[in-house]
């Protein structure tokens, strides 16, 4: 603990010397420079997310810019993000990923991002996000009959996941068995009959397709060659199991996790029509529990505590009255 305290103090002293007292530069949330910074920040966060879904920019809530000596400028940007239907394993480019609507019980994320800008290039130094689902009341106000997010450890959800995965391995026509990588979402529909609506991320294992499903727990992710990954939508109602999956080309999926470029190579698997369909648009991120996530690329929160900020007066409008840029910025979705 003593060693850690010494290292922390040394880091703070270095940051004090690196970023001297300076002034704000006032910019608007819809300024092209700020929108460029926000786009880079969103791409960075999506590329470094190992589970869940890609997020899209909904609004820039606030921005502060100040000089940082030889390090160029520092940007403090507050972003409002919305969850898309694209899982992080999906190589579809973000711009082609639809944002979830209110009837789907959407998830949003409020992020504070610290970035540096030197020689015209932005770099994300630190970010922290608070991710939470919309309230059930807001969803039912818009769509009283829509299914709501359910806890992933609920017994009916666990049973439905097992049934859906078993069904896929029986009819998927793949060279190897697939196992669960992540339950992306689970919703429960109680009318007219109870059904569990699932979104599942799956991964190819080292077990051949003719391996009994009873031993799938012992199957490991395929490593001898790049494993295929997939994403499934499933509705389980009683003994009726409907599952539709996209299986991504292994190389494309690997590229997606780093560059988000390729279009997915899809293999559709369909079974019988379920007894009950979800009235909402297709089904993202797990349950409604709040999640805190933060990067540790650089101690930007320490950096900012050492900077004395002096507000720079905005330029005056023709009438002599200062014109302040508008924040928050425009809303892109809802």
CATH code for the domain in which residue 194 is found:
3.10.450.10
Instruction: Note whether residue 110 is domain-resident.
Output: yes
- The reply to whether 97 and 115 lie within a common domain is yes
Are residues 122 and 180 located together in one domain of the fold? no
Assess if residue 331 is contained within a domain: no
Please tell me whether residues 56 and 107 are part of one structural domain: yes
Domain match, 19 and 127 both:
yes
Residue 153 lies in a domain: yes
Final residue belonging to a domain, choices 214, 239, 256:
256
**Three-class SS string for the chain?**
CHHHHHHHHHHHHHHHHHCCCEEEECCCCCCHHHHHHHHHHHHHHHHCCCCCEEEEEEEEEEEEEEECHHHCEEEEEEEEEEEEEEECCCCCCHHHCCECCHHHCCEEEEEEEEEEEECCEEEEEEEEEEEEECCHHHHHHHCCCCCEECCCCCHHHHHHHHHHHHHHHHHCCCCEEEEEEEEEEEEEECCCCCEEEEEEEEEEEEEECCCCHHHHHHCCECCCCCCCEEEEEEEEECCEEEEEEEEECHHHHHHHCCCCCCCCCCCCCCCCCCCCCCCCCCCCCCCCCCEEEECCCCCHHHHHHCCCEECCCCCECCCCCECCCCCCCCCCCC
99 and 155 in a single domain? The answer is no
Q: What is the pTM of this model?
A: 0.74
Query: Is residue 200 assigned to a domain?
Result: yes
The answer to whether residues 168 and 82 belong to one domain is: no
71 and 8 share one domain: yes
Q: What is the pLDDT of residue 25?
A: 86
Shared domain check, 125 and 14: yes
pLDDT at 22: 53
Q: Residue 268 falls within a domain, yes or no?
A: no
* Domain that residue 52 falls in: 2-138+287-310
Residues 192, 72, single domain; the answer is no
> What's the structural domain count of the chain?
2
In a domain, 302, yes or no: yes
Query: Do 203 and 304 reside in the same domain of the chain?
Result: no
Query: Residue 245 has what pLDDT?
Result: 96
- pLDDT tens string, the chain, 334 residues long: the values are 444 444 444 444 444 444 444 577 889 999 999 999 999 999 999 999 999 999 999 999 999 999 988 889 999 999 999 999 999 999 999 999 999 999 999 999 999 999 999 999 999 999 999 999 999 999 999 998 889 999 999 999 999 999 999 999 999 899 999 999 999 999 999 888 889 999 999 999 999 998 887 788 899 999 988 999 999 999 999 999 999 999 998 765 444 443 333 333 333 444 333 333 333 433 333 333 334 444 434 333 333 333 334 444 455 555 555 555 589 999 999 8
Q: Is residue 266 part of a domain?
A: no
What pLDDT sits at residue 251?
Answer: 62
């Amino acid at each position: 603990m003593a060693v850690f305290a010494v290292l922390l103090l040394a880091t703070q002293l270095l940051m004090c010397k690196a970023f001297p007292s300076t002034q704000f530069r006032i910019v608007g949330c819809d300024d092209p420079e700020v929108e460029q910074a926000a786009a880079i920040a969103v791409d960075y966060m999506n590329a470094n997310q190992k589970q869940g879904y890609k997020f899209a920019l909904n609004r820039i809530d606030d921005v502060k810019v100040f000089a940082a000596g030889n390090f160029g400028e520092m940007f403090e940007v507050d972003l409002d993000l919305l969850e898309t239907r694209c899982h992080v394993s999906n190589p579809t480019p973000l711009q082609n990923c639809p944002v979830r609507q209110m009837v789907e019980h959407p998830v949003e994320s409020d992020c504070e991002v610290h970035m540096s800008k030197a020689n015209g290039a932005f770099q994300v130094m630190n970010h922290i996000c608070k991710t939470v689902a919309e309230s059930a009341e807001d969803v039912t106000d818009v769509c009283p009959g829509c299914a709501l997010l359910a806890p992933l450890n609920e017994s009916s959800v666990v049973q439905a996941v097992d049934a859906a995965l078993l069904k896929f391995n029986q009819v998927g026509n793949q060279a190897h068995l697939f196992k669960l990588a992540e339950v992306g979402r689970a919703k429960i529909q109680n009318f007219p009959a109870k059904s569990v609506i699932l979104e599942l991320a799956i991964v190819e294992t080292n077990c051949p397709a003719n391996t009994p499903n009873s031993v799938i727990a012992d199957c490991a992710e395929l490593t001898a060659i790049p494993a295929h990954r997939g994403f499934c939508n499933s509705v389980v109602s009683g003994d009726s199991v409907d599952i539709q999956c996209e299986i991504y080309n292994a190389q494309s999926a690997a590229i997606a996790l780093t560059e988000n470029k390729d279009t997915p190579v899809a293999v559709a698997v369909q079974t019988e029509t379920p007894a009950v369909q979800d009235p909402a648009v297709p089904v993202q991120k797990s349950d409604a529990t709040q999640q805190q996530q933060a990067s540790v690329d650089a101690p930007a929160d320490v950096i900012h505590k050492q900077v004395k900020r002096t507000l720079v007066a905005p330029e005056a409008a023709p009438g002599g009255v200062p014109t302040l840029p508008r924040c928050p910025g425009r809303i892109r979705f809802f």
